A and B are shown apart, each in its own frame.
Chain A
Amino acid sequence: MKVKLVATGSMLGSVTATSNEIELGCGLESGTIEKLIGIRNRCLASSDQTALDLAFGALKNLIETNGDAVSLIKEKRVLVICANSTSEYSFPALASFLQKELGIVNGFSFDVNAACNGFQVALTTAASYIHSGLCECAYIVGVSVISKWIDWQKPDASLYFADGAGAALLTQDSSSGNGFSFASKIMTQPREVGSVTLKRGTIDAFVNINGMEVWKQVVTHFPKVIRSCLEEAGLNIEDVDHFVFHQANKNLIMFLCQRLGIPAEKAFINIENIGNTSEASMIIALDELNKSSRLKHGHKVLIGGVGAGFTFGATVFQW
Chain B
Amino acid sequence: MSIDVSDVVELVRVILKHDDVDETSAMDSTKEWDSLRQLFIIMAIEESFGVKIDDDSIEKVTSINSIFHYLKNCQ
CB-based contact A220/B58 at 8 Å:
yes
Q: Which of A200-230 contact B (CB under 8 A)?
A: 211-212, 214-216, 219-221, 223-224
Q: How far is the CA of A252 from the CA of B34 in the complex (A)?
A: 13
Q: How far is the CA of A212 from the CA of B38 in the complex (A)?
A: 9
Is the CB of B37 closer than 8 A to any CB of chain A?
Answer: yes
CB-based contact B59/A211 at 8 Å:
no
Interface string of A221-262 (1 = CB under 8 A from B): 101100000000000000000000000010110010011000
**Interface size on A (CB < 8 Å)?**
18
CB-based contact A258/B34 at 8 Å:
no
CB-based contact A212/B35 at 8 Å:
yes
CB-based contact B36/A251 at 8 Å:
yes
Using A36-B36, A211-B35, A249-B36 as known contacts, say yes or no to A216 and B43 having CB atoms under 8 A apart. no
Is the CB of B4 closer than 8 A to any CB of chain A?
Answer: no
Q: List chain A residues, Cβ under 8 A from B36.
A: 36-37, 211, 249, 251
Q: Which of A215, A223, A224 contacts B35 (CB 8 A)?
A: A215
- Tell me if B's interface is mostly helix, strand, loop or mixed: helix
CB-based contact B59/A219 at 8 Å:
yes
Q: Which of B27, B34, B58 contacts A219 (CB 8 A)?
A: B58
Q: How far is the CA of A258 from the CA of B42 in the complex (A)?
A: 11
CB-based contact B34/A212 at 8 Å:
yes
Q: How far is the CA of A214 from the CA of B42 in the complex (A)?
A: 16
Q: Which of B34, B43, B52 contacts A211 (CB 8 A)?
A: B34
CB-based contact A212/B55 at 8 Å:
no
Q: Which of B24-52 contact A (CB under 8 A)?
A: 27-28, 34-40, 42-43, 52
Q: How far is the CA of A224 from the CA of B56 in the complex (A)?
A: 10
Q: Which of A150-195 contact B (CB under 8 A)?
A: none
**Interface size on B (CB < 8 Å)?**
16
CB-based contact A223/B55 at 8 Å:
yes
Q: Which of A219, A249, A255 has the most CB of B within 10 A?
A: A219
Q: How far is the CA of A258 from the CA of B44 in the complex (A)?
A: 12
Interface string of A244-283 (1 = CB under 8 A from B): 0000010110010011000000000000000000000000
Q: List chain B residues, Cβ under 8 A from A258.
A: 43
Q: How far is the CA of A259 from the CA of B45 in the complex (A)?
A: 13
Chain A minimum-CB-distance residue to B33: A212
CB-based contact B56/A220 at 8 Å:
yes
Q: Which of A26-45 contact B (CB under 8 A)?
A: 36-37
Q: How far is the CA of A220 from the CA of B55 in the complex (A)?
A: 5
Using A211-B34, A212-B34 as known contacts, say yes or no to A252 and B58 having CB atoms under 8 A apart. no
Using A36-B36, A212-B34, A215-B35 as known contacts, say yes or no to A255 and B55 having CB atoms under 8 A apart. no
Interface string of A137-155 (1 = CB under 8 A from B): 0000000000000000000
25 contacts between A and B (CB under 8 A): A37-B36, A211-B34, A212-B28, A214-B35, A215-B35, A215-B38, A215-B59, A216-B59, A219-B55, A219-B58, A219-B59, A220-B55, A220-B58, A220-B59, A223-B55, A224-B55, A249-B36, A249-B39, A251-B36, A251-B39, A251-B40, A252-B39, A255-B42, A258-B43, A259-B55
For the complex of A and B, the 6 pairs showing the least CB-CB separation, nearest first, are A215-B35, A216-B59, A211-B35, A36-B36, A219-B58, A212-B35
Q: Which residues of B contact A (CB under 8 A)?
A: 27-28, 34-40, 42-43, 52, 55-56, 58-59
